[in-house]
């Protein structure tokens, strides 16, 4: 395999649609508020993709050097684990991605706030720094929070609350009292994807003392937790549309929950963790579909 293909593999392209979901939802909500900017949306998408790729490089590196990625791993083989990239190469990749992402974030903040809101610019730049730290320390370092059953919390915060509400603020310079509900939806669905990943790897993670929430909870409670994530995400989205829309077509994005609810049924019946791997893609793409339908319905209805 060429180095280019190795880097593409390490970037884990299948994770990128999920990372864009919060930006699309925020963009749709900004359209509804009459404050949409194409430049802000494009730069926000590019910045978010940068954060996600950085996180993927860091996870590849962190799990690799800790020995978590081994023959027992169920999911796709990582670049470091497979010998396609060295630890040193991944470090350089993380550094380069960090600088590119910070540049994009700075440009995004300048386009959103200009020269007039220095304090807001500093706040959002620090949020960007926090997102970079969170992306790296999920698996890297002695105190990696992904090994302390805190991954779900960080995913909910950064994919949901910060991703949706923060991006919405970049568009509007205010926070609607209702924007928190689609933020909760995206955050919980993103946590559901992570939980599926952790349920799939639960036995292998337990062997190497990687304490994900699925490892801490155990098989049956993890399945119950998964169903609660999905149900609350749906109810939050339903409530948002109920209080902001008046016609039935505006509820179309909720159709994306059909495969997610089917996923809950599959999870409860599952006795072989390896068979959960295809379910990650289903929930991730369903979340992306929800955000895309939300944007399209807002644009054309």
The mean pLDDT of 2-31, rounded to a whole number, is 94
Mean pLDDT of the region 161-181: 96
Question: How many structural domains are present in the chain?
Answer: 1
Q: Is residue 3 part of a domain?
A: no
**pLDDT for 68 beyond 80:** no
Quickly state the pLDDT bin for 66 (edges 50, 70, 90). Answer: confident
Residue 64 has pLDDT above 90, yes or no: no
Which pLDDT score is estimated for 72? Answer: 60
pLDDT, position 75: 61
Q: Cα-Cα-Cα-Cα dihedral of 181, 40, 156, 193, to 10°?
A: 100
Lowest mean pLDDT among 46-60, 77-91, 174-188, 191-205: 77-91
Phi, psi of 272, deg, nearest 5: -125, 105
Domain membership flag for residue 178: yes
Q: What percent of the chain has pLDDT over 70?
A: 96
**Over residues 35-57, mean pLDDT:** 97
Q: Which of 74-78, 82-86, 171-175 has the highest mean pLDDT?
A: 171-175
What band does 276 get if pLDDT is binned at 50, 70 and 90? very high
Query: Is 4 inside any structural domain?
Result: no
- Three-class SS of residue 138? coil
Residue 61: which domain range? 15-300
Mean pLDDT check: name the lowest of 60-69, 156-165, 204-213.
60-69
7 within domain boundaries: no
pLDDT at residue number 18: 97
In the prediction, which pLDDT does 83 show? 85
Tell me 84's DSSP state. S
Q: What's the token pair of residue 186? A: 């995206």
Instruction: Please state, in angstroms and rounded to a whole number, the distance separating the CA atoms of residues 209 and 79.
Output: 22
| 6, part of any domain | no
Q: Establish how many alpha carbons lie within 13 A of residue 80's alpha carbon, considering only the half-sphere containing its beta carbon.
A: 23
- Give 263's pLDDT tier (boundaries 50, 70, 90): very high
Split at pLDDT 50, 70, 90, the class of 208 is confident
pLDDT at 76: 67
Supply the mean pLDDT for the chain.
93
Higher pLDDT, 2 or 248: 248
Mean pLDDT on 277-284: 95
Q: Is residue 69 over pLDDT 80?
A: no
- Examine the pLDDT at 77 and tell me if it is beyond 70: no
User: In the predicted model, is pLDDT for residue 53 greater than 90?
Assistant: yes
Give the pLDDT of residue 63: 85
Report how far residue 88's alpha carbon sits from residue 94's, in angstroms, rounded to the nearest whole number: 10
115 within a domain of the structure (yes/no): yes
User: What are the DSSP calls for 107-125, one per residue?
Assistant: HHHHHHHTTT-HHHHHHHH
Q: What is the DSSP-derived secondary structure letter of residue 218? A: -
Q: What is the pLDDT, as a whole number, of residue 175? A: 93
Q: What is the pLDDT of residue 241?
A: 95
């Amino acid at each position: 395999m060429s180095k280019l293909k190795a880097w593409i593999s390490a970037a884990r392209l299948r994770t990128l649609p999920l990372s864009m979901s919060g930006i699309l939802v925020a963009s749709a909500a900004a359209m509804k508020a009459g404050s949409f900017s194409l430049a802000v949306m494009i730069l926000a998408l590019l910045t978010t993709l940068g954060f996600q790729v950085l996180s993927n490089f860091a996870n590849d590196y962190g799990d690799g050097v800790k020995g978590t990625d081994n023959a027992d791993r169920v999911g796709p083989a990582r670049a470091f684990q497979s010998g396609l990239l060295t630890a040193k190469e991944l470090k350089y990749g993380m550094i380069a991605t960090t600088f590119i992402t910070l540049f994009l974030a700075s440009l995004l903040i300048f386009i959103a706030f200009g020269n007039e809101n220095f304090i807001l610019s500093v706040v959002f730049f620090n949020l960007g720094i926090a997102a970079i730290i969170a992306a790296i320390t999920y698996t890297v370092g002695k105190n990696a929070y992904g090994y302390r059953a805190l991954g779900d919390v960080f995913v909910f915060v950064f994919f949901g609350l910060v991703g949706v509400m923060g991006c919405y603020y970049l568009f509007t310079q205010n926070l609607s009292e209702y924007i928190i509900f689609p933020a909760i939806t995206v955050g919980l669905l993103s946590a559901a994807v992570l939980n599926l990943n952790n349920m799939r790897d639960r036995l292998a993670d337990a062997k190497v003392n990687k304490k994900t929430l699925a490892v801490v909870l155990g098989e049956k409670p993890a399945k119950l937790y998964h169903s609660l994530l999905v149900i609350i995400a749906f109810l939050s989205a339903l409530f948002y549309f109920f209080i902001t829309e008046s016609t039935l077509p505006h509820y179309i994005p909720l159709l994306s929950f059909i495969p997610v609810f089917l996923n809950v049924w599959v999870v409860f019946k599952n006795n072989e963790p390896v068979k959960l791997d295809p379910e990650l893609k289903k929930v991730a793409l369903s979340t992306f579909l929800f955000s895309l339908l939300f944007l399209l319905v807002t644009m054309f209805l």
